[in-house]
């Protein structure tokens, strides 16, 4: 039993969510994307994962962090050409990839000249945008290879996951994201990153959420409320993941204004009907 | 940089612009004024939509749709999955992959021929986005796509004659995200752009510098001056993110139905009128977006219907055939 109220709440919540969970070969993954769904509709944005396939868009950040980890120690000289550095480091990563290291390395090793050029371009673009935002590192901080941290409670049935680019060792954790969002979305993202650090031993003092394409970042202070809110979000996401095991069509659909921004709004029948009716009314309303 | 239209090659444009070492012509005060005006409009628009729809996220496609037809804008704002790419969009996606590989001197279309070029484009698209085009198209469609792709690639190869100057760096698919109307709840609106190609001095590893100076947008279809409006948005976004305007940009069209052997290149300076015009479009789109999401939409049919996510259900789209083949 833990004295930490956040861990105690989360462990209890996850145990409740696991009630009725059938035996599975591995713990059920619950990611930050799941935890960041709005509360209004459990099925919001939910879609079963298709067969996973590596591509430049889902590999560039992970490989880019590998590049940054090599660039961070020793840090580059200010006058060195960034693209050359990044490209050369990527080439080293690719050459040293061994198929037995895992699916990403196996994919890397199997790429031909064209595929390598496409991936190289994507990694160089990502890392070149992220480098000025992430380097140089704070004392004691390190780039997180893989770009995520996980946590599984003792004898737990779930494994929680959240993105993190720089581990702060108690200082400022950094997480990159592709798009600017509301203050609430930034806080929720920071909460997931902070919670996973907390569960792994030490929460950062603050989380910096970086949007390289915007050239700016937001700093979110970490406190008990942030961690508790993130824990509650993971508990809800775990319950949804369990409910979706027999097919996500069993998830309750609650229509409303959130349907406008739902990624599955064109395939969700109630959502599509709600939007269709809303559009009909809109189209018949004179401007 | 003076605006030009016509048969200039991309290579010549880059060489001339690079040799001039031009400075941005828009000062910081002008950029501040533009941002201030858009901040006000963004706050006003966001105040008219539900909280959870903020920030209003505008892309070039959303802005274009909102300004052409509010219903198309509504559909674009609500479009999750537009289904498989249509023929023109598929050729465009394949073309873009080959164009990057030509710039990087990875492929030589003349040596590969139509079939080899198509194979390499499919392989590149599969790595870039996971799309398995090669296995999706039948033999008849493949022949047509090969032919259409190769015609466009040949024109691009003719326009891109020489390697990039070694002192310049090119970046592809560069994202720019600009926040407007920042407040306690975050931005009221976001302008999100992704530029096909940007060119500039090689950036240093740490510190400032290396800002994009020239932006290039590639179009595999016909010449359409509306694409210059998109370029204006990119120039505005780059200026506001970097705090310093690029020098200018260009749109290159393959223009396959014209006799132009190396396509059509039209340049645009990043001067105050260009950025102001782009800012006006963003402001108008913000107002229409607030109308749409606040419940007021009208329908205006046109050639844009063929690309509208609502094209199969909107009565107005049925009458859009009279606008002809826009591709």
Q: What integer best gives the mean pLDDT of chain A?
A: 85
* Beta-bridge partner residues of B170: B199
pLDDT band at B320 (very low <50, low <70, confident <90, very high): low
Contacts of B30 (CB under 8 A, 6+ apart): B272, B275
* Beta-bridge partner residues of A142: A167
Confidence (pLDDT) at B150: 96
CATH of domain B9-82+165-321: 3.90.320
Report the residue from A57, A77, A181 with minimal CB separation from B186: A181
Pairing of strands B214-219, B248-253: parallel
Helix (H, G, I), strand (E, B) or coil at B275: helix
How many angstroms separate the CA atoms of A242 and A16, rounded?
11
How far the first Cα of chain A sits from its last, in Å, is 62
Confidence (pLDDT) at B80: 46
> Which residue matches tokens 């296995």?
B135
Q: Report DSSP letters for A227-284, one per residue.
A: HHHHHHHHHHHHHHHHHTTT-GGGS----SGGGGG-TTTTT-HHHHHHHHHHHHHHHT
| Residue in chain B nearest A275 by alpha carbon | B78
CB contact under 8 A, B57 and A179: yes
Please report residues of B whose CB lies closer than 8 A to that of A122: 128, 173
Residue range A136-161: mean pLDDT, rounded = 91
Please report residues of A whose CB lies closer than 8 A to that of B74: 279, 282
| Residue in chain A nearest B181 by alpha carbon | A182
- For residue A180, which of B56, B225, B168, B304 has the smallest C-alpha distance? B56
Report the gap between the CA of B242 and the closest CA in chain A (Å): 7
Confidence (pLDDT) at A192: 97
> Is residue B208 pLDDT above 60, yes or no?
no
The residue of A83, A116, A283 whose CB has the most chain B CBs within 10 angstroms, and thus the best one to mutate to test that interface, is A283
A155-190 pLDDT, tens digit per residue, is 889 999 999 999 988 899 999 998 898 999 999 999
- For residue A234, which of A40, A23, A7, A2 has the smallest C-alpha distance? A7
> Is residue A286 pLDDT above 70, yes or no?
no
A77-125 pLDDT, tens digit per residue, is 766 777 777 888 888 777 776 666 678 888 888 899 999 999 989 988 8
How many angstroms separate the CA atoms of A42 and A40, rounded?
7
B48-88 pLDDT, tens digit per residue, is 887 877 899 899 988 998 898 887 777 777 654 444 556 67
Please report residues of A whose CB lies closer than 8 A to that of B53: 257, 260-261
CB atoms within 10 A of CB A239: 18
Largest separation between any pair of C-alpha atoms in chain B: 58
Confidence (pLDDT) at A70: 84
Residues B216 and B261 sit within 8 Å (Cβ to Cβ) = no
CB contact under 8 A, A267 and B81: yes
Alpha-carbon distances of B30 from B179, B217, B235, B274, rounded to whole Å: 17, 25, 14, 12
How far the first Cα of chain B sits from its last, in Å, is 30
Share of chain A above pLDDT 70, in %: 87
Cβ-count burial of A177 within 10 angstroms (0-12 exposed, 13-18 middle, 19+ buried)?
Answer: buried
Least confident of A30-34, A51-55, B275-279: A51-55
Confidence (pLDDT) at B298: 65
> Which ranges of chain B does DSSP label H, i.e. alpha helix?
10-20, 28-46, 60-68, 70-78, 87-103, 109-129, 139-159, 226-242, 272-294
Residues B275 and B239 sit within 8 Å (Cβ to Cβ) = yes
CB contact under 8 A, B298 and A287: yes
> Is residue B324 pLDDT above 90, yes or no?
no
- For residue A7, which of A148, A190, A156 has the smallest C-alpha distance? A156
Characterize B263-279 residue by residue with b for buried, 16 or more Cβ atoms within 10 angstroms of its Cβ, and e for exposed: bbbbbbbbbbebbbebb
Query: What is this model's ipTM?
Result: 0.84
Confidence (pLDDT) at B37: 97
How many angstroms separate the CA atoms of B134 and A265, rounded?
29
CB contact under 8 A, B179 and A128: no
Confidence (pLDDT) at A209: 97
- For residue A164, which of A230, A114, A259 has the smallest C-alpha distance? A230
How many angstroms separate the CA atoms of A35 and B265, rounded?
47
Q: What integer best gives the mean pLDDT of chain B?
A: 84
Please report residues of A whose CB lies closer than 8 A to that of B169: 81, 83
Residue A197's H or E segment, with its range, is: helix A183-199
The residue extents of the domains of chain B are 9-82+165-321
């Amino acid at each position: 039993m833990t004295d930490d109220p956040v861990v105690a709440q989360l462990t209890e919540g996850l145990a409740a969510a696991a009630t009725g969970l059938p035996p599975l070969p591995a713990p059920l993954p619950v990611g930050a994307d799941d935890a960041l769904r709005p509360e209004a509709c459990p099925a919001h944005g939910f879609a079963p994962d298709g067969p996973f396939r590596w591509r430049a868009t889902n590999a560039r950040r992970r490989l880019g962090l590998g590049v940054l980890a090599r660039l961070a120690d020793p840090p580059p000289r200010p006058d060195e050409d960034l693209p050359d550095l990044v490209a050369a480091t990527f080439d080293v990563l690719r050459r040293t990839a061994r198929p037995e290291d895992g699916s990403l390395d196996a994919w890397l090793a199997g790429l031909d000249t064209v595929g390598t050029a496409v991936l190289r371009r994507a990694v160089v673009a990502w890392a070149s945008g992220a480098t000025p935002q992430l380097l140089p590192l704070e004392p004691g901080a390190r780039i997180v290879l893989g770009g995520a941290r996980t946590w599984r409670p003792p004898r737990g049935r779930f494994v929680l996951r959240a993105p993190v680019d720089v581990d702060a060792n108690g200082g400022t954790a950094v997480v990159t994201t592709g798009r600017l969002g509301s203050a609430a979305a930034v806080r929720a993202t920071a909460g997931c990153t902070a919670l996973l650090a907390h569960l792994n031993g030490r929460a950062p003092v603050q989380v910096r959420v970086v949007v390289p394409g915007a050239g700016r970042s937001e700093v979110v202070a970490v406190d008990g409320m942030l961690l508790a809110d993130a824990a509650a979000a993971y508990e809800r996401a775990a319950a949804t993941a369990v409910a979706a095991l027999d097919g996500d069509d069993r998830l309750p659909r609650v229509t409303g204004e959130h349907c406008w921004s739902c990624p599955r709004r064109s395939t969700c029948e109630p959502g599509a009907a709600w939007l269709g009716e809303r559009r009909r009314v809109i189209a018949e309303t004179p401007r | 940089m003076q605006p030009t239209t016509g048969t200039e090659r991309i290579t010549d444009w880059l060489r001339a612009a690079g040799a001039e070492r031009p400075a941005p012509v828009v000062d910081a005060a002008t950029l501040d004024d533009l941002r201030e005006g858009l901040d006000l409009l963004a706050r006003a628009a966001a105040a008219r939509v539900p909280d959870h729809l903020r920030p209003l996220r505008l892309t070039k496609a959303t802005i274009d749709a909102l300004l052409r037809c509010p219903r198309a804008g509504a559909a674009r704002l609500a479009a999750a999955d537009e289904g498989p790419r249509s023929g023109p969009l598929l050729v465009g996606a394949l073309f873009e992959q080959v164009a990057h590989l030509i710039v990087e001197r990875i492929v030589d279309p003349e040596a590969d021929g139509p079939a080899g070029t198509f194979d390499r484009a499919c392989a590149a698209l599969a790595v870039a986005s996971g799309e398995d085009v090669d296995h999706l198209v039948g033999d008849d469609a493949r022949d047509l796509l090969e032919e259409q792709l190769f015609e466009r690639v040949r024109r691009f190869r003719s326009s891109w004659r020489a390697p990039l100057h070694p002192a310049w760096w090119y970046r592809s698919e560069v994202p720019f995200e600009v926040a407007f109307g920042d407040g306690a709840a975050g931005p009221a609106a976001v302008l999100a752009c992704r530029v096909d190609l940007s060119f500039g001095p090689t950036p240093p590893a740490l510190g400032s510098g290396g800002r994009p100076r020239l932006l290039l947008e590639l179009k595999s279809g016909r010449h359409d001056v509306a694409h210059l409006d998109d370029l204006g948005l990119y120039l505005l976004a780059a200026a506001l993110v970097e705090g310093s305007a690029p020098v200018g940009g260009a749109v290159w069209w393959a223009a396959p139905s014209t006799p132009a052997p190396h396509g059509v290149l039209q340049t645009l300076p990043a001067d105050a009128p260009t950025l102001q015009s782009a800012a006006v479009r963003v402001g108008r789109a913000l107002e229409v977006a607030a109308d749409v999401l606040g419940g007021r939409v009208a329908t205006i049919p046109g050639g844009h219907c063929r690309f509208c996510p609502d094209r199969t259900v909107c009565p107005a789209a049925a009458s859009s055939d009279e606008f002809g083949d826009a591709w």
